[in-house]
């Protein structure tokens, strides 16, 4: 397995500098692993992520998936702040427990201008999928 172009420590510094808003509620988002074409993100549990019924909200899981895609891309091409989401599709498969969530991303295609990936989202400690996400990013020249 190829190593990341942008290692984990550099990614964390980059995210804190370029996206400080994701840390406004504390250290909820953590890059657990990064390699060429892959990333694992952890979203710590926070009560603001809940929706009625006591389950993790769709927008919280969408954020986790979008960040995992972004991190996998940066890990593969380096610090390109202006890579942006151009397509995003999520299938909610199971009601997630009110606990931390894990998003495992793998890039399916990494071209010069587009990257396509998928993210599998699970409640921490469970093998059961809560959501399956596919997304496309535009990579600036």
Per-residue pLDDT tens digits for 118-128: 999 999 999 99
Contact 135, 73 (CB under 8 A): no
Which tens digits make up the pLDDT trace of 42-74? Answer: 999 988 888 888 899 999 999 999 999 999 999
3-state DSSP helix/strand/coil % of the chain, to nearest 5: 25, 40, 35
Which residue blocks in the chain are alpha helix, DSSP H?
A: 8-18, 58-77
DSSP code, position 54: T
Strand partners, 134: 89, 118
Which fold would CATH assign to domain 8-138? Thiol Ester Dehydrase; Chain A (3.10.129)
- pTM of this structure: 0.94
Q: Taking the domains of the chain in order of start, what are their residue ranges?
A: 8-138
Whole-angstrom Cα distance, residue 37 to residue 5? 10
Contact 48, 82 (CB under 8 A): no
- Cβ contacts of 9 within 8 Å, gap of 6 or more: none
């Amino acid at each position: 397995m190829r190593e990341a172009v942008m290692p984990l420590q550099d990614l964390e510094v980059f995210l804190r500098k370029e996206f400080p808003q994701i840390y406004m509620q504390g250290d909820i988002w953590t890059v657990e692993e990064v390699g060429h074409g892959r990333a694992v993100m952890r979203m710590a549990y926070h009560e603001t992520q809940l929706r009625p019924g006591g389950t993790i909200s769709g927008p919280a899981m969408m954020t986790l998936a979008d960040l995992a895609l972004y991190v996998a891309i940066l890990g593969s091409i380096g610090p390109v702040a202006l890579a942006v989401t151009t397509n995003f599709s999520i299938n909610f498969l199971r009601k997630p427990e009110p606990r931390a969530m894990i998003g495992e991303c793998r890039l399916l295609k990494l071209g010069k201008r587009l990257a396509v990936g998928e993210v599998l989202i699970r409640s921490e400690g469970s093998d059961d999928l809560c959501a399956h996400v596919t997304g496309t990013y535009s990579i600036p020249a």
